[in-house]
Amino acid sequence: MLEQQARNDLLVFAILTNPKYDVNWHHRIMGEKLQAVERGEIKRLILELPPRHGKSLLASILFPAWFMGRNPDKEIITASYNSDLAQDFGGKTRALVDDPVYHNIFNLKLAKDEKAKAKWKTSGGGTYTSVGIGGAITGRGADILIIDDPIKNREEADSDLIRAKHWAWFTSTAYTRLEPDAAIILILTHWHFDDLAGRLIENEKNGGQKWEVVKFPAIAESDDEFRKAGEPLWANHFNLTTLEETKKMIGLMDWAALFQQNPIISESQEFREEYFRYFDEAELEEEHLTINILIDPAISKRDQACNTGFIDVAKKKHQPFWYVMDDCSGKMDPGQITAMVFNKVEQYERDYPMANVKVWIETIAFQEAYLYFFKEEMRRRERYFNIGELKNRQDKHGRIRGLIPLYKQGIIKHRHYMSKGPLEMELLQFPFGKLVDRIDALAFNLTALSPTVTRKRTPYRPLNPQSLTGW
């Protein structure tokens, strides 16, 4: 019977409770993932879809009702960018559970004592709570936490403060309501690299929880199992002409985020993938090189702080090309930076005996203290090398944009291992990406190579080797 199938299949349930429900292939994939959540096979799920493509109906309204029918004593919390939208989801799910069609599928009804849109119970002892992002969640736990559309609009997406508030609410309020072995479902359009989904994915890269990410661009960017590049996601509702008109109306930036789930899009990029060139080691053999080790220290080593930009660039005498030798950017304290610099200087002087190796460090305000660490270590090791200070008053984005003509002309070349790596991703995401530490350090090579700072320098020598600093 259909009722039995509906108890076991979310999409059959969707059709049986709403005969007009139009199932596309992407709904089937979503349904499979949501069913895996119900079975306990997926604990962390991110669904990235364009607006009006059925993500909220299936994941935020139908799935909670179906899940509670199969798990009548479980608790669900749903959240959205404001309480009105969250309560709207709650009201629609409640109406579904209160429908006679639902009662023919599941032996479950609403409890008589509590039927408010935002907070209600079932006859099986389960509970449903809806709340706006940032709101309090008291007295209820969650076996399933569903967060649908945490960001309201572009203004919120671009606000560092709002994004930080969302993260704080997620970690300090929502996450603390989870029952043991609970699942989280995040449903959204990917507004910003640093939105909630972006932070969770970045956190995973740094050893955090693993997330299953299902991403559906409105127009396919490459061939896949269900469509070819350039084809729409749900042609029956949004054909290619409609989508192209939407793209022209809302602009590339919002189109990329809302409809393609990718704030990077070739038409709006200042640095493009086709600009990237690569070099082989043979190009540097037996050459008189200048190798600049460029360091842009971060303020803090905390997780949410910027990275220390740490880029090495080689240049041949009387030739324009830059060879990006290495990218060791990351979170480092002064001691780690100092140790790495000494190791790199020794390595380059060993591997490139005809090279002139120089170290350059940005010294603004507190960062001048880094010179102390270098000079103390030189004195301690009795190992001296050229070290220069970079003081650039040009704004960061302006400095980085100075690299664009060099990339366009193929003057800057990367090592092959850097293909599609963090440095190139920062370039492709600029200026909308979360981080610019690597490319900012790379841009300092423009200053290091300028005539005003590249005059011949003598290696540092302490004036008084017995003093504390040698200065």
When pLDDT is cut at 50, 70 and 90, the band that residue 329 belongs to is very high
Q: What pLDDT, in 10s, does the model give residues 40-63?
A: 999 999 999 999 998 999 999 999
When pLDDT is cut at 50, 70 and 90, the band that residue 327 belongs to is very high
pLDDT surpassing 70 at residue 451: no
Say which residue, 87 or 188, is predicted with more confidence.
188
pLDDT at residue 394, rounded to an integer: 66
Number of Cβ atoms within 10 Å of the Cβ of 24: 17
When pLDDT is cut at 50, 70 and 90, the band that residue 353 belongs to is very high
* CATH pick for 273-448 out of 3.20.20.70, 3.40.830.10, 1.10.150.170, 3.30.420.320: 3.30.420.320
- Confidence (pTM): 0.67
pLDDT surpassing 70 at residue 291: yes
Q: Among candidates 76, 184, 66, which has minimal Cα distance to 131?
A: 76
When pLDDT is cut at 50, 70 and 90, the band that residue 116 belongs to is confident
pLDDT surpassing 50 at residue 464: no
Give domain limits for the chain.
2-216, 273-448
pLDDT at residue 458, rounded to an integer: 45
Least confident of 255-269, 291-305, 400-414, 427-441: 291-305
pLDDT surpassing 80 at residue 457: no
pLDDT at residue 403, rounded to an integer: 96
Q: What pLDDT, in 10s, does the model give residues 190-242?
A: 888 888 998 998 889 888 899 999 999 999 888 888 999 889 999 999 999 99
Q: What sign has the CA pseudo-torsion 256, 32, 12, 148?
A: negative
When pLDDT is cut at 50, 70 and 90, the band that residue 75 belongs to is very high
Pairing of strands 277-279, 212-215: unpaired
pLDDT surpassing 50 at residue 455: no
CB 74 within 8 A of CB 145: no
- The helix or strand, by DSSP H or E, that contains position 314, with its residue range, turns out to be strand 309-316
pLDDT at residue 392, rounded to an integer: 64
Only one residue has tokens 């599928």, namely 105
CATH number for the region 2-216 comes to 3.40.50.300
State percent of the chain over pLDDT 90: 48
Written as six digits, the tokens of 414 are 């990367």
Q: What pLDDT, in 10s, does the model give residues 359-392?
A: 998 876 545 667 777 778 888 888 888 888 887 6
Say which residue, 337 or 323, is predicted with more confidence.
323
C-alpha–C-alpha distance, residues 234 and 237, integer Å: 6
